[in-house]
Structure 1
Amino acid sequence: MRYVRMPIEVESPEEYGYGNIRNNLSESSITDQSLSSLGLTIPDLTLLYNEHRGSPKLRAQIAADCPGLSADDVLVTGGAAGALFIIATALLGREDQLVVVRPNYATNIETPRAIGCKIAFVELEFERGFVVDLDRIAAAVTPRTKLISVTCPHNPTGTMMTESELRALADLAAARGCLLLVDETYRDLALTPALPIAASFGPHVISVASLSKAYGAPGIRIGWIINSDPALQERFLAAKEQISICGAVLNEWVAEQIFDQREAFLARTLPEWRRRLDRVAQWIEGEDLLEWVRPQGGVVCLPRMKAEPPGGYDGFYRRLLEQHGTYVGPGHWFEMSDAYFRLGFGWPSADEFEAGLAGISAALRG
């Protein structure tokens, strides 16, 4: 495999330096939590090799969200990124094809590229409301297609499929003899009732999620793969064992505590998330240089500039950061025009959020 660093990681705020950004509107998660904000005090844990699949309690907590699944269907991984790496390297080869909806989280594309498998892209279009077109996915599938990859709710647009659309996609994959990967990292941050875990639609469907985005805990690197095919899970486990053997005892303990208070945590988080979304909508309604598709889930959106700003797109992003201290995710992070930018509205403080919106409006005008 030939690895190439992804722009979204090279230019990430943690690599650029959080201290160099006043208003960070590039993040794709809620505010980072701390042990004290979660009310946690670490006990005297024994730092042994953990169970390779992940702690039984944690796997049961993850599976409890769907009556048709069990802890045996869950593999705990090093974040969703680790899950996606395991899936790609375990399933894809040079002779295979991947059908992936784009834009997409970079790991869903770059790891298959490093493997050398053929990739067919199904583009989401602004003019069509970033709606996933099942007919276009079906047209992209060939006898070589091993895997179809989507995210729902979508990153970076925040759009969603309905349950019937997601089931139809699972049925399509089954009928064409391929697997379906659904990245569900934003599942708990949706305006509509949460969709069923996609892996419950059949053993050919693989769900991936984490505690990074909706729970503000990227630092513990806890994600998971859900799949009800024992043979597939055994293959994924083999990959995990060759990468890390097992997960960290401390990280999985923290994850268990987050799940213990999950409902209360979301009850605190969701009202503020919805208020922020309404505020972005109000701002864009009054900003005649931008247009957007209002998200239905997640804590990001993907506005588009109606015209190239003074100094071009590069000038806009440079001005935004240097003069207004504001950072957003440019379109090239997602292999799109820099007329688009990902705006994260769940991570910054209220003051930073407002200052960031004002900075964008000012930078658009030169």
Structure 2
Amino acid sequence: MKYNRMPIEIESPEEYGYEKIKYNLSESSITDQSLASLGLQVPDLKLLYNEHQGGTALRKLIVQGSEGLSYKDVLVTTGAAGALFIIASSQLSVNDHLVVVRPNYATNLETPRALGCEISFIDLAFESGFQLDLSAVKAALKPNTKIVSITTPHNPTGTGMSLETLSALVALTKEKGILLLVDETYADISYEGRLPIAASLGDHVISVSSLSKSYGIPGIRLGWLINRSPSLQEIFLAAKEQISISGSVVDEWIAEQVLSRKEEILSATIREMKDRREIVAAWIEKDDLLEWVRPDGGIVCFPRIKNGFEPVGGLEAFYHRLLHRYGTYVGPGHWFELPDTFFRLGYGWPTIEELEGGLQAISQALRDTSA
């Protein structure tokens, strides 16, 4: 494998230094939680190797209430990133072809690149509301296509997918004998109702998610993949065992406590994120230099500087000014292989005051005429 560091990681706020940022609107999760904020105190756990697939109780919680899925269909992984690595490294080679939506979470692109497989991109367009074109997916398929990879709700735009579109994609990939990978990391924060776990729709479908984004606990590195095929699960488990054998007892204990209160936690989070989305909507409506596609879920959106306007000094100068003069950090378009007229804005991580301060700073930096 040929690894290259991803711009989104090189330029991440934790690498740049949180202490240097006043208004951090670059994060893709809700506010980071602590053991105290979750009301947890870790007991005297025995620090052994636990079940290689992940604890049975935890796996049951992950699929609780999902028709057609069993805890046996779940593999607990080191975050969603660990799940995506296991899937790509076990299923793709230089002889295989991947169809993947873009823009996307960088790991969905870079791990297949590191493996050297052939890739066709389905580029989502602002003008079509970042919606997936099924005919474009069908046209991109080849005899050696192994995986079609999508995200819903989408990162970085927050746009959703209808059940009709998802079902059509499930049927298409089933007919062609292709795996369908659905990154559902933001699915638990869906404003118009959550889609079913995609893996429940077919044994060739793989769902991936984690506790990092919707629950604000990326520090425990707890994710999972779900798939109903025993033969595929055997391969995925073999990969995990060669990477880490099992997961962390401490991480899994925390995850159990959180998921046992899932409805309570999510109902409060969704209410707050809806309010925050309205704050961003009001700002966009007021600022005549910006436009967006209103997100259906998650806690990120992907505004665009309107065509025909260029900030003083150009885009590079704008982002430098935004950070160094106004103390505000966002995720520029190149993190997602798009022009820097786009930027990902995370509205779930900062305080309300910081969110409002950062939005005002973006508008000021766009209009700042000083060098």
Q: TM-score, normalised by structure 1?
A: 0.99
In structure 2, how many angstroms separate the alpha carbons of the residues matched to 1:256 and 1:40? 11
Task: Tell me the amino acid that sits aligned with residue 317 of structure 1.
Answer: Y
In the alignment, does 2:186 pair up with 1:186? yes
Matches within 5 A, 1:239-254: 239-254=239-254
1:80 aligned partner, one-letter code: A
Match of 1:349 among 318, 328, 351: 351
Q: For 1:166 and 1:158, how far apart are their aligned partners in 2?
A: 16
CA displacement 1:167-213 (0-9 Å, x = unmatched):
11010101111000000011011111110000011110000000000
Q: Please state whether the residue corresponding to 2:131 is helix, strand or coil.
A: coil
- Aligned match for 1:313, one of 315, 318, 341: 315
Aligned to 1:233: 233
**What are the equivalent positions in structure 2 for 1:13-162 lying under 5 Å apart?**
13-162=13-162
Q: In 1, distance between residues paired with 2:334 and 2:343?
A: 9
Residue-by-residue CA offset, 1:255-280 (whole Å, 9 max, x unaligned): 00000111111122111100000110
- Find the aligned partners of 1:132 and 1:34 in 2 and give their Cα distance: 37
1:323-362 residue CA offsets vs partner (Å, 9 max, x unmatched) = 1110000000000000000000000011111110011001
Instruction: Give the distance between the partners of 1:10 and 1:65, measured in 2 at CA.
Output: 39
Aligned to 2:217: 217
Q: Would the aligned equivalents of 2:191 and 2:270 in 1 still touch at CA under 8 Å?
A: no
> Which 4+ runs in 1 deviate beyond 3 A?
none
CA distance in 1, matches of 2:294, 2:269: 19
Post-superposition offset of 1:284: 0.3
Q: Distance in 1 between the 2:147 and 2:311 partners?
A: 39
- How large is the RMSD of aligned CA atoms in angstroms? 0.6
Q: Which residue identity lines up with residue 196 of structure 2 in the other structure? A: P
> Which letter maps to 1:348?
P
CA distance in 1, matches of 2:62, 2:267: 18
Q: Which residue of 1 aligns with 2:327?
A: 325
* Letter paired with 1:360: I
Matched residue, 2:4:
4
Q: 2:63, 2:262 → 1: CA distance?
A: 14
Distance 1:65 1:102 in 2: 31
Map of 2:280 onto structure 1: 280
How far apart, CA to CA, are the structure 2 residues paired with 1:208 and 1:294? 24
Letter in 2 for 1:127: E
1:76-124 C-alpha deviation (Å, 9 max, x unpaired): 0000000000000000000000000100110000000000000000000
Where 1:298 maps in the other structure, the secondary structure is coil
Which is further off, 262-271 or 129-138?
262-271
Q: Provide the secondary structure at the position in 2 that maps to 1:119.
A: strand
Shift of 1:308: 1.9
Structure 1 Cα separation of the partners of residues 127 and 270 of structure 2: 29
CA distance in 1, matches of 2:321, 2:91: 43
Question: Which residue in the other structure is 1:165 paired with?
Answer: 165
Alignment-mate amino acid for residue 98 of structure 2? L
In 2, the alpha carbon distance for the partners of 1:65 and 1:226 equals 14
- Between the aligned partners of 1:258 and 1:114, the Cα distance in structure 2 is 34
Taking the aligned partners of 1:323 and 1:203, their CA distance within structure 2 comes to 52
Partner of residue 297, structure 1: 297
Q: Distance in 1 between matches of 2:123 and 2:67?
A: 34
Instruction: Report deviation, 1:65.
Output: 3.4
Paired residue total: 366
Q: For residue 342 of structure 2, what is the aligned residue in structure 1?
A: 340
Task: Name the aligned partner's letter for residue 230 of structure 1.
Answer: P
State the SS of the aligned residue for 1:324: coil
1:362 is matched with 364
SS at match of 1:109: helix
Q: Which amino acid aligns with 2:56?
A: P
